[in-house]
Chain A
Amino acid sequence: MNAIEESLPIFAKQIDNARRQSEEAILALSTRFRGIVTSLDAAVAASEKGSGDGGRDLVGAMEDGKRQLLKVVEALEAVRSGRAALIEEIRLLAAHTRELGDMAQEVELIAFKTNMLSLNAAIEAAHADGDVGRGFAVVAQEVRQLSVESRETGKTIGRKISVISDALRHIVGVNEQAVAAEDAAVKDSEMRIASVLGHFGGMTERLLHSAENFRNESEVIKDAVMDSMVQLQFQDRVGQILSHVVGSLGDLAATAGASDDSGATEAGGGGASDYMAKLVRTYTTDEQRRIHDGTAAVAVAPQAAEFF
């Protein structure tokens, strides 16, 4: 056995060993890449779920919150409007009490006039003689008593109306203060709600923007990783080429051995041509054929599918 016969199987084993190591390393790398893509997919899905179907749930929740808070303001505004209407009713009532006050004064005036009339009647009774004069004096006295009582009643009515008027003015004053306070509260609530909604709106927008950035960046990373995985396909081609080299080295060793046995000094004659023919026949890639023909090997770019 010459050096070529002895070394060829060793070369074949060395190349095959290198091919296996390369294949194992590429597979490990590809597995890691696949894990990265799967993790990114899970992270993007979690991000979409967290911000609610691309953020629509979050925006919907914000809009719902805004509607609910505006209803609170509307309720406050309704209370304020109701109180303002009540003040108007009380003001109308106060106007009626003024008329009642005037009527009470008129009662007093009538009583005064009646009193004057009774005084004149008493004088006329004094001028009359006998029983007629006495009877007329009694009637004049009773009329005077009635006028005094009427005047007192008129004054009492006036005082009561005054008390009621004061009470109504007080009620109106207190209510006007309450309306002013409620007005301020409604405005303050509107301002605070607008501020809170603005704050949360800003946060929501930043959150959505951040989630979108994350998803976009994740897509870029995934594309890069996927592209790297595509590039790793070189291993399949290299593996096939090296396997072919290993197989061919085995064939060469056999051919060389056969030549030795037949007394030839080198691999030549029919053995060599058969060997070379098999070499060409068993190529699986274009670059193997190009190299064999002495043409420069070119990198194979991904191509479109060919349909039959």
Chain B
Amino acid sequence: MAKRILIVDDSASVRQVAGMALTRAGYEVVEAVDGEDGVSKLTGKLHLIISDVNMPRLDGIGFLKAVKANSSYKFTPVIMLTTEAGEDKKNEGRAAGAKAWIIKPFQPQTLIDAVAKLVLA
């Protein structure tokens, strides 16, 4: 059975690239258009979550905190996939419980390798 991954990003083209790469790698992908939508998609078994940082309504850090506050998903690994390269924001993500930080633009293989590493861990 394919492992389920939630992708939260307000950019449809990023969701497409990431979604296609992961689907081709054998994962089942669930998409959310921002942090709030992401919170509503926290249902069923999720093996990993990928989230953007800068998003309308609820941003990535806020969404990450919501994930870690949810007892069902507090141990689900989260990868932040963002244009944000500032150390302050990165430290904020690390403190909130993110497992990895990937800066856009990204190579699909980089994302697949990171997902594979964290899903197995």
Residues of B contacting A304 in the complex (Cβ-Cβ under 8 angstroms): 110
The reply to whether A229 and B16 form a contact with Cβ atoms under 8 Å apart is yes
The reply to whether B16 and A30 form a contact with Cβ atoms under 8 Å apart is yes
Number of A interface residues, CB 8 Å? 34
Which residue of B11, B94, B98, B101 contacts A236 across the interface (Cβ within 8 Å)?
Answer: B11
The reply to whether A286 and B101 form a contact with Cβ atoms under 8 Å apart is no
Which residue of A37, A239, A285 contacts B85 across the interface (Cβ within 8 Å)?
Answer: A285
Q: Residues 70-92 of chain B: 1 if any A CB is under 8 Å from the residue's CB, otherwise 0?
A: 00000000010011111000100
The reply to whether B105 and A27 form a contact with Cβ atoms under 8 Å apart is no
What is the CB-to-nearest-CB distance from B25 to chain A, in angstroms, rounded to a whole number?
12
CA distance A303 to B84 in the complex (A): 13
The reply to whether B94 and A305 form a contact with Cβ atoms under 8 Å apart is no
Residues of A contacting B14 in the complex (Cβ-Cβ under 8 angstroms): 233, 236
The reply to whether A27 and B13 form a contact with Cβ atoms under 8 Å apart is yes
The reply to whether B105 and A300 form a contact with Cβ atoms under 8 Å apart is yes
**Which A residues between 259 and 308 are near B, CB-CB below 8 angstroms?**
283-286, 289, 300-308
**Which A residues between 217 and 253 are near B, CB-CB below 8 angstroms?**
226, 229-237, 239-240
The reply to whether B85 and A286 form a contact with Cβ atoms under 8 Å apart is yes
The reply to whether B99 and A284 form a contact with Cβ atoms under 8 Å apart is no
Main secondary structure, interface of B, reads mixed
CA distance A230 to B111 in the complex (A): 12
CA distance A304 to B54 in the complex (A): 20
CA distance A27 to B10 in the complex (A): 12
What is the CB-to-nearest-CB distance from A93 to chain B, in angstroms, rounded to a whole number?
77
User: Is A83 an interface residue when CB atoms closer than 8 A count as contact?
Assistant: no
**Which B residues between 8 and 46 are near A, CB-CB below 8 angstroms?**
11-14, 16-17, 20-21, 24
The reply to whether B12 and A237 form a contact with Cβ atoms under 8 Å apart is no
Which residue of A26, A34, A233, A284 contacts B106 across the interface (Cβ within 8 Å)?
Answer: A233
Q: Give how many A-B residue pairs fall within 8 Å (CB-CB).
A: 100
What is the CB-to-nearest-CB distance from B116 to chain A, in angstroms, rounded to a whole number?
11
CA distance A307 to B83 in the complex (A): 16
Known interface pairs A34-B20, A284-B83; A302-B106 also in contact (CB < 8 Å): yes
The reply to whether B105 and A230 form a contact with Cβ atoms under 8 Å apart is yes
The reply to whether B101 and A237 form a contact with Cβ atoms under 8 Å apart is no
Residues of A contacting B58 in the complex (Cβ-Cβ under 8 angstroms): none
CA distance A55 to B21 in the complex (A): 27
The reply to whether B17 and A305 form a contact with Cβ atoms under 8 Å apart is no
The reply to whether A230 and B99 form a contact with Cβ atoms under 8 Å apart is no
User: Is A182 an interface residue when CB atoms closer than 8 A count as contact?
Assistant: no
What is the CB-to-nearest-CB distance from A50 to chain B, in angstroms, rounded to a whole number?
21
The reply to whether A306 and B101 form a contact with Cβ atoms under 8 Å apart is yes
Residues of A contacting B108 in the complex (Cβ-Cβ under 8 angstroms): 226, 230
Known interface pairs A305-B79, A308-B94; A236-B104 also in contact (CB < 8 Å): yes
Known interface pairs A300-B105, A302-B107, A308-B99; A232-B13 also in contact (CB < 8 Å): yes
The reply to whether A232 and B113 form a contact with Cβ atoms under 8 Å apart is no
Which residue of A34, A237, A306 contacts B83 across the interface (Cβ within 8 Å)?
Answer: A237
The reply to whether B101 and A308 form a contact with Cβ atoms under 8 Å apart is yes
Known interface pairs A233-B105, A285-B85; A305-B16 also in contact (CB < 8 Å): no
CA distance A50 to B24 in the complex (A): 21
Residues of B contacting A240 in the complex (Cβ-Cβ under 8 angstroms): 54, 83
Residues of B contacting A30 in the complex (Cβ-Cβ under 8 angstroms): 12-13, 16-17
Chain A to chain B contacts (Cβ below 8 Å), 15 pairs: A26-B13, A27-B12, A27-B13, A229-B17, A229-B20, A230-B17, A230-B105, A230-B106, A235-B11, A240-B54, A303-B103, A305-B100, A306-B102, A307-B117, A308-B101
Given contacts A23-B13, A230-B106, A308-B99, 9 further A-B contacts (CB under 8 A): A23-B12, A30-B17, A230-B17, A237-B105, A284-B54, A286-B86, A301-B105, A303-B102, A303-B110
Q: Which 6 pairs show the lowest CB-CB distances between chains A and B?
A: A233-B105, A305-B114, A236-B11, A30-B13, A302-B107, A306-B101
